[in-house]
Structure 1
Amino acid sequence: MSRNVKLPLPRSLRSQITAGVALLVVLVVALAGLIIVARIDHRDRTDVDRQLSARADKVREDADKLVSEGDGANDTDDYGGLLVGSQSVVRLVSNGQVVAERGDRPTVDIPVPSSDGMSTLYVGGQSWRSLVEPVDGTGDERLQVLQDLSPIEQRRTDNTRIVAGVAVLATLVAAGGVWLITRVIMQPLQRLRAGVQRIRPADTSRMLPQVSRPQEVADLSAALNGMLGQLQTSMRATRRFTADAGHELRTPLTVLGMNLETLQRNPRLPAGQRQEALDAMAVEHRRITALLEGLQILARGDAHALPPRATVDLPALLDEAVRHARNRHPGATYDVHIPAEPAPQVQGWSTGLRLAVDNLLDNAALHGRRPHGRVDVSLSWDPGRLHIAVSDDGPGIPADRREAVKERFARGSRPRSPGSGLGLALVQQQAELHGGALTLADAPGGGLRATLTVQSRPAEPAA
């Protein structure tokens, strides 16, 4: 049964880089060294073959003299010193017998050759290179020249050891250099790790240190800071939602509890008082529902938990919103002014824009003149922006209070209609999410003029 064996890897990135570079260096140096050793060995053996051929030609010119001298052990010869001290042997073979032999005689007997040509012989633990050629055309006599290959093999062994030593030394030097270099390179990552370790759940403002290089670490730092920003925004939105909900729901829930307790303690309460209590409970229920819906929308906007952007047809959205507002407020008169030419495109969230427009239309009808108020609605645009202006004919809002009423749960000093105080906050949030703003000013005929500005998308060039 076979098992997949996984080699243990170092845990730290620095160690992994060092080990990887060291392994690569030892492989490259060893491979290059072995190739060089093989080339040198091949060259040496080629030189031996060439020398054997030259010696054979030299000896063949005067083979009779080799026979006449026999097996003399002179320190010199008449062949130019080719044999003495050269670790080579020349033999003359006739009819399967060695008739003459000159040179550095081996300590073991070399067998008589059976065929002509180049060959390598292994005798007594030694290797010899042999060349056998006929002396004349009859083939009865053959000349054998041998060269001891021990020096060449020793040179190859020495070269291999040198390559191994160089590979080990290069690996150690490379590993040490990479270990020191990666210490410098890894400093930005170490800073990021230290920054992450300092972040605590209760800390909603701490960010990771900014890193400018290397580019990959800088991108990682920016991505992590972006993620932290989103998490912190979501956390703040959640905390704000919890605090707002707890603060604003306390009063309606208290009223509901008091009315329920009154109905429970007085089962024989007159029908008029009972109905009055039920109506008050229904009002508080609607208030709680509207408050929770508004807070939920605000929380999603704060946390940027929004669907993908899409193209919004703002004139069509405005026309539909006014049509539904007329049904909700039949006593108010809505006068709409939308230019006939095509409006610039808007990239955004149709649900959020519709909610903002509905709040502006409802506020204008509720805070305008009673019972037959007038609401003027207009759509205009300039390069890069679209403006939805909603004007009423009510008392308006003092200039020093206009910024304050945009805050959550903010209401006028003398509110003329029930509400949660989230309407203009929702409009302000949607304006900011769409690259614009909410502006409050005096209406031309008195009252309040609320202008919702959003950013438009540049028109695509015609094909």
Structure 2
Amino acid sequence: MKVLPRSVRTQVTASVALIVLVVVALTGLAIALRIDDRDRADVDHQLIARADRVRSDADKLLSGGPGTAGGSPDEYGELLAGSQSLVRLLSGDAVVAERGGLPAGDIPPPAGYGLSTLVIGGQSWRSLVQPLDAVGGDRLQLLQDLEQVKRRLDANQQLAAVAGAVASVIAALGTWLVTGLVLQPLQRLRTGAMGIRPGDLAQRLPRVSRPREVADLSATLNGMLERLQVSMLSTRRFTADAGHELRTPLTSLGMDLETLRRNPELSAEQREQALAAMTVQHQRVVALLDGLQALARGDAGALPARVGVELVDLVAEAVEHARHRHPDVSYNLGGGMELVLVQGWRDGLRIAVDNLLDNAALHGRPGGAVQVCLVGDGGNARVTVGDDGPGIPADQRELMKQRFARGAGPRSGGSGLGLALVEQQAVLHGGALHLDDSPGGGLRATLLLPMEPAADLPTADR
């Protein structure tokens, strides 16, 4: 069962009221106890002063005898107004004389000298016992009823309780009003958030200027909504582009399959041409799906732990595989670095290098040459791939890094994701992708990656 209320306003109000109640009550109790201690000290001082006067005029007390107690009060009577007091002269345990108001119960014989508190007839009395003189064995006892002191303590304690309750109520009312004003901007944010609909990406929460914390929260939430809007628009555009890119090869596959189904009398050569076309479209679909999957993983941050990746062997291996994929293209690898270690993911870096090599082969001159170079430069590793094709105009190079972007007149249909994949991997590895003119006349792509000291990271398995 939940004890705390759900409302922040109620929780704050209840907490402040409780704190005020405890503080005021404890403070009042401490003051009441302090006053009680002072009252009791005053009683002790009055008992001592009265004992001095009685001892100096003991004959007057003796002249009254033991039977004068309970009469009209005199100078040996009440010490405090509205209370009872008693003066007794003892010889051993026998009462020689007493003057004042007698308690309702029996008075026990004193055990020794000094101040003490006695309970007589259910009431508290303060007792002072002193020797009457230095020679005889007579003792003087003065008793003072503490009922008035007790009533004053009770009254002070009740006053402290009432003051605590009143202060708690006042604090609760004040806190309720103040928290209502303070939380009003949050209520505005809540109302604004409830009005946001999934289809309306341009909506924003109300701008709040005070208090600063709520204003910061408003700005942060609006920034989050803006990023969500950008991400959703990008996702929608990406989904539409992906659907468009998949539609073309799938439509071609469907047409080829329909042709084979409706024309069983096709010659072997015609069937072979249709199957070859289907194979090309199938490879295009697979390449497109692989690229989309790699981009989605990068966007989602679904990446393994970073390790040290040795680029020399990785680039050499990628170039060797590219030669098998594009046998008509001449790949020339240079650089001469013995060890180039970067922090990252081997598979992601391999995707980036493979796409650079394939892009150069597809958009370079037929039967041309691709220059590949790996160098270390000021703490950065540079993987440079240049072709001898027509290149990309300078004002279109940044556009070519976007997804599904294609240059004018490529030699072979690509997915339009190659440079986008390289750009993504460069950013994920803390680097960058630069496009400029190649010495061979085409495009030169440079993958810039920060290098790591060899002793800092474990090296990935090759």
| Range class of TM-score, shorter chain | 0.7 to 0.9
Contact 2:88 2:95 in 1 (8 A): yes
Between 1:448-457 and 1:26-35, the stretch displaced more is: 448-457
Which runs of structure 2 are paired with 1:337-348 in the superposition (5 Å)? 337-338=334-335, 340=337, 346-348=342-344
Look up the SS of the partner of 1:175 in the other structure: helix
TM-score by length of 2: 0.80
Look up the SS of the partner of 2:348 in the other structure: helix
Task: Call closer, same or farther: CA 1:143–1:186 in 2, change over 3 Å.
Answer: same
In structure 1, the partner of 2:356 is: 360
2:416 to 417, 421, 429: 421
For structure 1, the residue ranges without an aligned partner over 5 or more in a row are 1-5
Which runs of structure 2 are paired with 1:29-428 in the superposition (5 Å)? 29-70=24-65, 71=68, 73=71, 76-77=74-75, 87-93=84-90, 98-103=95-100, 105-106=101-102, 109-117=104-112, 118-123=116-121, 126-133=123-130, 135=132, 142-183=139-180, 185-186=182-183, 189-190=186-187, 192-204=189-201, 235-307=232-304, 309-338=306-335, 340=337, 346-371=342-367, 373-380=368-375, 382-383=377-378, 386-398=381-393, 402-428=397-423
Contact 2:390 2:443 in 1 (8 A): no
For structure 2, the residue ranges without an aligned partner over 5 or more in a row are 457-462
Distance (Å, rounded) in 2 between the aligned partners of 1:116 and 1:139: 18
- 1:152 deviation in Å? 0.9
Distance (Å, rounded) in 1 between the aligned partners of 2:229 and 2:35: 68
Identity %: 59
Between 1:198-207 and 1:32-41, the stretch displaced more is: 198-207
Are residue 456 (structure 1) and residue 454 (structure 2) matched? no
Look up the SS of the partner of 1:202 in the other structure: coil
Contact 2:92 2:137 in 1 (8 A): yes
Contact 1:409 1:422 in 2 (8 A): yes
Between 1:114-123 and 1:21-30, the stretch displaced more is: 114-123
- 1:91 deviation in Å? 2.6
Distance (Å, rounded) in 2 between the aligned partners of 1:460 and 1:192: 52
Distance (Å, rounded) in 2 between the aligned partners of 1:205 and 1:299: 25
TM-score by length of 1: 0.80
Distance (Å, rounded) in 2 between the aligned partners of 1:308 and 1:217: 37
Look up the SS of the partner of 2:414 in the other structure: coil
Which amino acid is the alignment partner of residue 354 of structure 2?
D
Task: Call closer, same or farther: CA 1:194–1:459 in 2, change over 3 Å.
Answer: farther
Contact 1:116 1:131 in 2 (8 A): no
- 1:100 deviation in Å? 3.0
The alignment covers a number of residue pairs equal to 450
Between 1:25-34 and 1:138-147, the stretch displaced more is: 138-147
Distance (Å, rounded) in 2 between the aligned partners of 1:83 and 1:29: 31
Cα-to-partner distance string for 1:430-460 (whole Å, 9 max, x where unaligned): 34445555444332232x1222343526879
Between 1:357-366 and 1:258-267, the stretch displaced more is: 258-267
- 1:16 deviation in Å? 0.9
Task: Call closer, same or farther: CA 1:86–1:265 in 2, change over 3 Å.
Answer: closer
Which amino acid is the alignment partner of residue 121 of structure 1?
V
Please, what is the CA RMSD of the aligned residues? 3.9
- 1:355 deviation in Å? 1.5
In structure 1, the partner of 2:459 is: none
Contact 1:75 1:84 in 2 (8 A): no
Task: Call closer, same or farther: CA 1:315–1:461 in 2, change over 3 Å.
Answer: closer
- 1:251 deviation in Å? 2.0
Distance (Å, rounded) in 2 between the aligned partners of 1:139 and 1:75: 28
Look up the SS of the partner of 1:129 in the other structure: strand
Contact 1:96 1:112 in 2 (8 A): no
Between 1:297-306 and 1:452-461, the stretch displaced more is: 452-461
Distance (Å, rounded) in 2 between the aligned partners of 1:233 and 1:348: 28
Distance (Å, rounded) in 2 between the aligned partners of 1:436 and 1:109: 99
Which amino acid is the alignment partner of residue 365 of structure 2?
R
Contact 2:432 2:449 in 1 (8 A): no
Which amino acid is the alignment partner of residue 335 of structure 1?
N
Task: Call closer, same or farther: CA 1:331–1:252 in 2, change over 3 Å.
Answer: closer
